[in-house]
Amino acid sequence: MKDDYPLSIACQGATGSFSHLAGQAFFKAPFNLVETKRFEEIFLAIVEGRSSFGVLPIENSLIGSIYENYDLLCRYDIPIRGEVYLRIQHNLLVLPDQTMTPHERISHISQVCSHPKALEQCRILFEEYPHFSPEPFSDTAGAARFVAQSGDLCRAAIASEQAAQVYGLTILLPSIEDDPQNYTRFLVVGKPQIPHGFPSKVSLVATLEHEPGSLLKVLAELKDQGGNLTKIESRPVRGKPFQYLFYLDVIHPEGADVLVRGLTRLTTSLRILGEYSPGDLSRD
């Protein structure tokens, strides 16, 4: 029977996906998981009232920004309410089997399923075992569920330890990510407000005059205000070749209102995507 909790959270992926784990780390309480196959479906679930919040990855320490989600933040009027950093430990999961040694199991595997971003974070694995064929899947936990349901000993999945527990799989190779300092920053988006203190983190998107020094003036204003720029990302403006939107994350001592007053005169457009408490990046 499906659990019925007061809170419903949309995540790209099944139970045991890293987005699901990030949601658990942020909310610290049980919630109903609204599974989605695409990132945009997270926003649609909120718009349609099927979910109060959504959790989506925005950048990874090994492969960089997830540009699709920057574009979705701009397309939908759903504020960022929080962030969480999650240590990403990938594992090679297989069906339980007592008839082969671990070495024999490895040689028997031909197909390795996982989300494309997870496959990218495990490139060394595929260099070490060239007979592994990477197979993109909608999410890591969904790949684990697929392998469990397939009954095929030639298939494996790259997913979390929790996914192995949920779907009854065995960890054949642990910690297969290219670098142990593998972290993903997730954003929590939703319409209900979540209280925050100061300094707060402010995410915004701006367009600037197409002239020398326009970005420098913005950065100088942030410095004068005592703001700490933690992220800047440019994305192309559709219909305007080689013109760009700038996404900025700023830890600000006084918050969004003061930030906007100082930047409005220096930008051609300015939109606050969210103001929230900075996440805690605690390394192992």
Q: Which residues are catalytic?
A: 184, 186
Q: How far is CA 155 from CA 12, 69, 127, 248, 284, in A?
A: 22, 30, 18, 41, 31
Q: How far apart are the first and last CA of the chain?
A: 37
* Cis status of the peptide bond prior to 174, with omega within 30 of 0: no
Task: Quote the crossing angle between the two packed helices 67-75 and 39-47, to the nearest 10°.
Answer: 20
Name the amino acid, one letter, at 154. C
Q: Residue 125 in 3-state DSSP?
A: helix
Inter-residue contact 237 to 243 (CB < 8 Å):
yes
Read off the amino acid at residue 235: R
Which two three-digit tokens encode residue 151? 């009954």
Using alpha carbons, list the distances in angstroms from residue 106 to 91, 149, 170, 178, 192. 13, 20, 13, 18, 47
Residues in contact with 205: Cβ distance below 8 Å, sequence separation at least 6, in sequence order:
73, 74, 245, 246, 247, 248, 270, 271, 273
